[in-house]
Amino acid sequence: MNIEKDRIIIFDTTLRDGEQSPGATLNIDEKLTIARALARLGVDVIEAGFPRASKGDFAAVEKIAAEVGSEDGPTICGLARATKEDIRQAGAALKPAAKGRIHTFIATSDIHLEHKLRKSRQEVLAIVPEMVGYAKSLVHDVEFSPEDAGRSDPEFLYQVLEAAIAAGATTVNIPDTVGYTTPAEFGKIIRGIKENVPNIDQAIISVHGHNDLGLAVANFLSAVENGARQLECTINGIGERAGNAALEELVMALYVRRSYYNPFLGRSADSTEPLCNIDTTQIHNTSRLVSNLTGMLVQPNKAIVGANAFAHESGIHQDGVLKNRLTYEIMDAQSIGLTENLIVLGKHSGRHAFRDRLETLGYNLSEIELNKAFLRFKDVADKKKEISDLDLQAIVNDELQQVPEAYRLELVQVSCGDHARPTATVTILTPDGQELTDAAIGTGPVDAIYEAINRVVNIPNELIEYSVKSVTEGIDAMGEVTIRLRHEGVTYSGHAANTDIIVASARAYLGALNRLYGALQQGDQAVHAAAAAATNAI
């Protein structure tokens, strides 16, 4: 088998590990939207989900395999514990993909063996080749992970990896499951594997790591220096607990410091060939899409994709940047797809020009999606003199992520002031076709809206987060609202964008309630199955 080792393979696990962030649960259509964006971004592998976790996860992996996993598209991967039923279901879900990969795992650290698996080292050493071999009988491409490798005994780890490769694993992934290691330690682990696993030249070394100590990206870059060639990461670094290594940070570190990393991949320092296949100009769009769909906001000072990443407030910095941008900027904002261009479109513009601009921004919409987005565009164009690319992205992302409207907002109206009691009236179309109107008083206009909606919908919940941000500058800017609510320990998110922040607030809240309603309709079985499976994920 010809294994490429002169470039970095980007393995994106936003749809699997990233979705395990509290409140980040996605429906099938939302997962498919993100998968398409990841394919445009140029990731090599999409870990689409954990097929055994639930019927919904199986269906999502299967649909992504069918619609995104083309011959010229990314490899589609499904996660599976080292059990026959997990592996069988992963193989079944991946059948439609031109390039399918089963990623199977089992713990190898003594603490996991004793307290979670209750198995001996010898038992695990027997399970690994059997399960990898079974996976190999279903797909050509098999990845194996020794869970909690960062805390495993190195000698035992070498034995397990050797057995996995001998059984057919073409990628061996080294997870820092609890984000415990430091860069020097993680690099040493990778170097030790290269030096002590006899058949390691027959596989790609991959790394997976969590950011509990804020070291995930640094650990991965150290791993690259020591021989790792696949990086498992997520958009915006989302994931369990403190998240995963952030794709955008890794990719841009390799892009900006290419001359430093080139020699580690056997290239001359001045080589201009990209180190990975990522189209960096798609980073900004993909980041915003994932943030909107998951409800996981990007902090302003977040590296690469934060709102302040290319902002300069210090007088000294501003003076330097005006004289030469290289004084305080190590990369161009346009390199990640961040522009300030205004689209030359208005309320009289046609669908062709609208579609053309969307394609330039990286969106490839179906006719139904295009029609919905175009109607929203016309509505916004009636209210704003200038439409920016950021406005257009907000419109499209808002339309793409709408959940099925079991409850539909027909009217929202508020009355408030410094000497008035904030009052809201809402009219909502219910799932059974009734049009119900109610009113409520709150501590402010948004609180009054939510009180009125709750009176109609009548599903107990706790609002745990409400945030507003402006898409662009100016009094007529579109506002984006993200809310998160909790019901029986499960978090649901909602997002909406509108030139009227009151309307956006109402739509975002109702979006979250529709997610909650959908989950209640489906029953809690799938949620509990996914939660149980997640506790056993790397």
The string of DSSP codes covering 325-383 is GGGT-SS-GGGGT---PBPS--TT--HHHHHHHHHHTT----HHHHHHHHHHHHHHHTT
In this prediction, residue 340 has a pLDDT band, given cuts at 50, 70 and 90, of: low
pLDDT score of 215 more than 50? yes
Query: Tokens for 198?
Result: 């006899």
Largest separation between any pair of C-alpha atoms in the chain: 78
Q: Alpha-carbon distance 533 to 89, whole Å? A: 14
pLDDT score of 525 more than 90? no
- Considering only residues 440 and 344, tell me which one the structure prediction assigns the higher pLDDT: 440
The pLDDT value given to residue 513: 95
**Which amino acid makes up residue 503?**
V
Q: What is the mean pLDDT of residues 406-424?
A: 94
Query: Tokens for 35?
Result: 């998968």
Helix (H) or strand (E) run with residue 116 in it: none
- Considering only residues 254 and 529, tell me which one the structure prediction assigns the higher pLDDT: 254
- Poorest-pLDDT segment among 91-105, 187-201, 209-223, 403-417: 403-417
Highest mean pLDDT among 19-23, 51-55, 94-98, 489-493: 94-98
Helix (H) or strand (E) run with residue 478 in it: none
Q: Alpha-carbon distance 378 to 386, whole Å? A: 12
Conformational region of residue 226, where left means phi above 0, alpha means psi within -120 to 50, and beta covers everything else: alpha
- How high is the mean pLDDT of the chain? 88
Q: What is the DSSP letter of 44?
A: S
Q: Facing residues of 204 across strands? A: 171
The pTM of the full predicted model, rounded to 2 decimals, is: 0.83
- Domain ranges across the chain: 9-261, 408-522
The pLDDT value given to residue 126: 97
Are the C-beta atoms of residues 214 and 183 closer than 8 Å to each other?
Answer: no
Q: What is the mean pLDDT of residues 175-191?
A: 96
Top-level class of domain 408-522? alpha beta
Are the C-beta atoms of residues 362 and 40 closer than 8 Å to each other?
Answer: yes
408-522 shares the fold of 9-261: no
The pLDDT value given to residue 528: 46
Q: Alpha-carbon distance 390 to 387, whole Å? A: 8
Q: Alpha-carbon distance 33 to 56, whole Å? A: 16
pLDDT score of 2 more than 80? no
The pLDDT value given to residue 348: 63
Q: Alpha-carbon distance 388 to 339, whole Å? A: 9
Q: What is the DSSP letter of 211?
A: -
The pLDDT value given to residue 342: 46
Q: What is the DSSP letter of 49?
A: E
DSSP alpha helix (H) spans, 167-282? 183-196, 216-225, 247-256, 258-261
Distance, CA of 213 to chain centre = 20
Fold of the domain built from segment(s) 9-261? TIM Barrel (3.20.20)
Q: Alpha-carbon distance 446 to 500, whole Å? A: 12
pLDDT score of 268 more than 60? yes
The DSSP secondary structure of 385-437, one letter per residue, reads S--BHHHHHHHHHHHHTPPP-SSEEEEEEEEEETTEEEEEEEEEE-TTS-EEE
- Considering only residues 155 and 6, tell me which one the structure prediction assigns the higher pLDDT: 155
Quick one: which of 466, 463, 473, 471 has its CA closest to 498?
471
The pLDDT value given to residue 493: 86
**Which amino acid makes up residue 275?**
L
The pLDDT value given to residue 96: 98
pLDDT score of 79 more than 70? yes
The pLDDT value given to residue 397: 75
Phi, psi of 302 (to 5 degrees): -65, 135
The pLDDT value given to residue 495: 87
pLDDT score of 491 more than 90? no
Q: How far apart are the first and last CA of the chain?
A: 27
Q: Alpha-carbon distance 301 to 408, whole Å? A: 36
pLDDT score of 527 more than 50? no
pLDDT score of 328 more than 80? no
pLDDT score of 281 more than 80? yes
DSSP alpha helix (H) spans, 42-153? 55-67, 84-93, 110-112, 121-138
Burial status of residue 421 (CB atoms within 10 A of its CB: 0-12, 13-18, 19 or more): exposed
The pLDDT value given to residue 313: 45
Give 306's contacts (C-beta < 8 A, 6+ positions apart).
Answer: 298, 299, 300
In this prediction, residue 384 has a pLDDT band, given cuts at 50, 70 and 90, of: confident
Q: Which residue has the tokens 């299967």?
A: 62
The pLDDT value given to residue 345: 61
- Considering only residues 295 and 253, tell me which one the structure prediction assigns the higher pLDDT: 253
Q: Alpha-carbon distance 119 to 46, whole Å? A: 31
- Poorest-pLDDT segment among 86-95, 150-159, 198-207, 490-499: 490-499
- Poorest-pLDDT segment among 120-124, 374-378, 531-535: 531-535
Percent of the chain with pLDDT over 70: 89
- Poorest-pLDDT segment among 94-98, 179-183, 325-329: 325-329
pLDDT score of 529 more than 70? no
The pLDDT value given to residue 309: 84
Query: Tokens for 368?
Result: 């139904």
Q: Alpha-carbon distance 136 to 418, whole Å? A: 69
The pLDDT value given to residue 312: 42
Pairing of strands 490-498, 45-49: unpaired
Q: What is the mean pLDDT of residues 179-197?
A: 97
Are the C-beta atoms of residues 128 and 165 closer than 8 Å to each other?
Answer: no
Q: Which residue has the tokens 């409520």?
A: 440
Instruction: Report long-range pairs for 344-348 (Cβ below 8 Å, ≥24 apart).
Output: 345/377, 345/381, 345/387, 346/381, 346/387, 347/378, 347/381, 347/382
Query: Tokens for 531?
Result: 């939660």
The pLDDT value given to residue 318: 42
